[in-house]
Amino acid sequence: MSEVAPTLLGRLGGWFSPTASAEIAAAEDAALRSDRFRLEREGEWKRLEAIVIRIEKGRLRGISDADLLALPALYRTAVSSLAVARETSLDAETLEWLEGLTRRAWFIVYGPRAGLGDWLMRFFGGGWSESVRALKQDILIAFALMVAGTIAGWLLVASDPDWYYALMPGGMGDARVPGASRAVLMGTLFGQQDQHGLAVFAAYLFSNNAQVSILAFALGFAFGLPSAMLLIQNTAILGALLWLYHGQGLTLELVGWLSIHGTTELFAIMLAGAAGLHIGRAMAFPGDAAVLDAAAAAGRRSAQVMVGVVLMLIVAGLLEGFGRQLVDNTAGRLIVGGFMLVFWSGYFFVWRGRGQSA
């Protein structure tokens, strides 16, 4: 079976460069054609493996530019080696190892390549507003649900004030109850700028609201129904509050009090609900795609919206924590709230981002 004896060339090579000659000699020594195939390419495979290991360990800095540039080419070499080896080699060890190496390189070459910085640039520069526009239908549904919730809350409380206690969460010591005097209600809207710890309050509000909106989104998984219910329930509270203050002729003041942060916060909640509905709709009516594929596509689209929602809630938390307590008149509050509403609407639906043709 000894097809190939060590050749003169191999021996000559040995005198000049020990490592290269070792590889050549090994390749020459190998009795099998498939082993020679392997030995000739092993150097490149090992180089790919070294790069992959370093990337996996997170030591990107330690990789030379030449190696990084070579990575895609080395990956393709490994892939084609694998394809060839499957058809020509019966060496299980090599095949399995090569499969493993290709898989690891595949994860890296086709992995989430955009760094966080790049991703954020794309996100703010059009990606976010584009994904919001993609949910247009769901946003309309969410908006309709919120309006319906508000009206329902108002009507319920108007027909029977006991509903107020059912809708309003918690707060035994809360001054905002049916039958409260105008002065008391007025006091809850104005004159709190002496309060301290506003920043803490803002951070708490953000953390709380963000968790609620994440919930509204995540619940979309159950065909969107819980998302819809959450939207209605939260806006019913709004309707009840409106009714309460309307009874004492304080509607405009309440709207001002709410709008300074509410335009941002309600917008964010609407987007979160819309994202949830989007997933729910994709799963209930997947169309031509398989349910799993439809859900995955919808999930990726709306995940971007959700990152935006969390950012909007940070803004809302700041406005609520600082802005509302510091701007102590209805006109000022309405101006700030109105400005935020115009800003978000313009950013999402008018501005088309960089390099967008549509």
Sites for another protein among residues 187-206 (CB under 8 A): 196-197, 199-200, 203-204, 206
Q: Does 290 bind another protein (CB under 8 A)?
A: yes
Site mask for another protein (CB under 8 A), range 38-57, x = bound: xx--x--xx--------xx-
With CB under 8 A as the rule, give the number of residues binding another protein.
79
- In the DSSP assignment, the letter for residue 355 is T
Under the binding rule (CB under 8 A), the answer on residue 116 touching another protein is yes
Nearest Cα neighbor of 139 from 299, 270, 269 is 270
Residue the block writes with tokens 């989104």: 217
Q: Which residue carries 């708490």 as its tokens?
A: 204
Residue of 146, 306, 334, 336 that binds another protein (CB under 8 A): 306
Applying CB under 8 A, among 61, 65, 112, 179 the residue interacting with another protein is: 112
Is 299 an interacting residue with respect to another protein (CB under 8 A)? yes
By beta-carbon proximity to another protein, the closer residue of 109 and 237 is 109
Place of tokens 């509410």: 262
Window 78 to 107, contacts with another protein (CB under 8 A): 79-80, 82-83, 87-94, 96-97, 99-100, 102-104, 106-107
Residue in 134, 148, 155, 297 binding another protein, rule: CB under 8 A:
297
Residue 183 Cβ, how far from another protein at the closest point, in Å? 25
| Contact with another protein (CB under 8 A) among 14, 29, 67, 225 | 29
Select the span of 34-42, 166-174, 240-248, 328-336 touching another protein (CB under 8 A): 34-42
Q: Report d(CA 33, CA 214) in Å as an integer.
A: 59
Question: Interface mask (CB under 8 A) for another protein, residues 262-281, using x and -?
Answer: -----------------x--
Options 20, 73, 184, 292; binder of another protein; rule CB under 8 A: 292
Element (H, E) at 353: none
Q: How would you label 120-158 residue by residue, b for 16+ Cβ within 10 Å and e otherwise?
A: eebbeebbbbbbbebbeebbebbbebbebbbebbbebbe
Please state, in angstroms and as integers, the Cα–Cα distance from residue 315 to each residue in 53, 83, 208, 263, following that order.
41, 53, 13, 11
Please say which residue, 301 or 324, places its beta carbon nearer to another protein. Answer: 301
- In angstroms, give the least distance from the CB of 125 to another protein: 15
Q: Which residues contact 184 (CB under 8 A, 6 or more apart)?
A: 175
Among 255, 307, 311, 341, binds another protein (CB under 8 A): 307
Q: Indicate the SS3 state at residue 139.
A: helix
Question: What does the DSSP assignment read for 217-273?
Answer: HHGGGTTTHHHHHHHHHHHHHHHHHHHHHHHTT-HHHHHHHHHHHHHHHHHHHHHHH
Shortest distance (Å) from residue 51 CB to another protein: 11
319 belongs to the binding site for another protein (CB under 8 A) = no
**Cα three-residue angle 110-111-113, rounded to 5 degrees:** 105
Question: Residue 88 CA to chain centroid, in angstroms?
Answer: 45
HSE at residue 44, side-chain half, CA atoms within 13 A, is 19
Among 304, 312, 319, 320, binds another protein (CB under 8 A): 304
Which is nearer to another protein, 155 or 307 (by Cβ)? 307
Restricted to residues 137-196, the positions that interact with another protein (CB under 8 A) are: 196
Task: By CB under 8 A, tell whether 114 contacts another protein.
Answer: yes
Q: Are 274 and 213 in contact (CB under 8 A)?
A: no
Per-residue binding string, another protein, 215-244, x by CB under 8 A, is x-xxx-x-----------------------
Residue 7 within binding range of another protein, rule CB under 8 A:
no
Beta carbons of 274 and 138 less than 8 angstroms apart: yes
300 is a site residue for another protein (CB under 8 A): yes
